[in-house]
Amino acid sequence: MWMSKFKKLIAKKNKTKIVSLTAYSKNIASILDNHCDIILVGDSLGSVLYNYKSTREVTLSTIIEHSKSVRMGVKKSLMIVDMPHNTYRTSKEALKNAKQIMKKTKCDGVKLEGGKKIYETIKTLVKNKIPVMGHLGLLPQSDKTFKFKGKKKVERDRILRDSQLLEKAGVFSIVLECVETSLAKLVTQNIKVPTVGIGASKYCDGQILVFDDLIGLNPINYKFVKKYLNIRKEISKAVSNYSKEVRKVKFPNKKSSF
């Protein structure tokens, strides 16, 4: 049964924190694979790599091609792929596209955004042995404004209810994005599958960040991101040194020539 592949991850709940990052290529994925439980080929690649205004512009073919590259770098982590906007409007459409993603990328599962609205869709995928990761809170594919979730009672009640619905539908975990701290804690305590937070406090069962944000490649600063490295500075330094050596005819030297 496919769920057996995810038992180890689910067993981490309330015991060991889950580590997750995004990757869009083989080289990066091969590095992250040594440290992560989950590697997500996120539709965040739309803004990170293509300068799209939103993730809604990412196509199925684009995410499949990046996922094929990532797959070559992943050996031990669970590899999950975002289903792009407008690829799961109906259960039939979702099943067709999810099967295509699974077959072409050899990923371990897919991620869908939403709650009650996609309950039957998730049930259909799980019934067809396609592992699903849920996503609640801020939903980049449908939300028009970037605001944290959980301030209003009606919003809190809906997210908690949706998390229980997603669990019932069969998801193996749920991403909580930009969810208010006490709500993230409440959701995490009230479901048996792990929650993975991004801007959703330490009370989630794990954390996920966009890799380019973590290393400082993205110059934009988000409240929920900690930059562990200023890679832009390091790249600039390396390119500057290369440029100087080329102009002073120090590179290529004899050792670098045939």
Largest Cα separation within the chain, whole Å, is 70
Could you tell me the fold of the domain covering 2-227?
A: TIM Barrel (3.20.20)
The pTM score is 0.96
Residues pairing with 114 in the sheet:
135
Residue 245 annotated to the active site: no
- Tens of pLDDT, residue by residue over 179-189, are 999 999 999 99
- Contact between 87 and 94 under an 8 Å Cβ cutoff? The reply is yes
Q: Which residue has the tokens 């694979």?
A: 33
Measure the CA dihedral 254/255/256/258, to 10°: 70
Asked if residue 213 lies in contact with residue 227, where contact means CB atoms within 8 angstroms, the answer is yes
List the alpha helices (DSSP H) in 3-90.
7-10, 26-32, 45-50, 60-71
Type and span of the H or E element at 235: helix 231-247
Q: Identify the active-site residue in 57, 65, 167, 177.
A: 177
pLDDT in tens, the chain (258 residues): 456 779 999 999 999 999 999 999 999 999 999 999 999 999 999 999 999 999 999 999 999 999 999 999 999 999 999 999 999 999 999 999 999 999 999 999 999 999 999 999 999 999 999 999 999 999 999 998 889 999 999 999 999 999 999 999 999 999 999 999 999 999 999 999 999 999 999 999 999 999 999 999 998 888 999 999 999 999 999 999 999 999 999 999 999 999
- Residue 236 backbone dihedrals phi, psi, to 5 degrees: -60, -40
What integer pLDDT is reported at residue 1 of this predicted model? 45
- Segments of the chain assigned to CATH 3.20.20.60: 2-227
Report which secondary-structure segment, H or E, holds 185: helix 181-190
User: Measured between alpha carbons, how far is 106 from 255 in angstroms, rounded to an integer?
Assistant: 42
> pLDDT tens digits, residue range 225-253?
999 999 999 999 999 999 999 999 999 99
User: CB 254: neighbour CB atoms within 10 A?
Assistant: 5
Residue-wise pLDDT for 61-73, tens only, equals 999 999 999 999 9
* 79, 85, 90, 94: CA torsion to nearest 10: -20
| Mean of per-residue pLDDT scores for the chain | 96
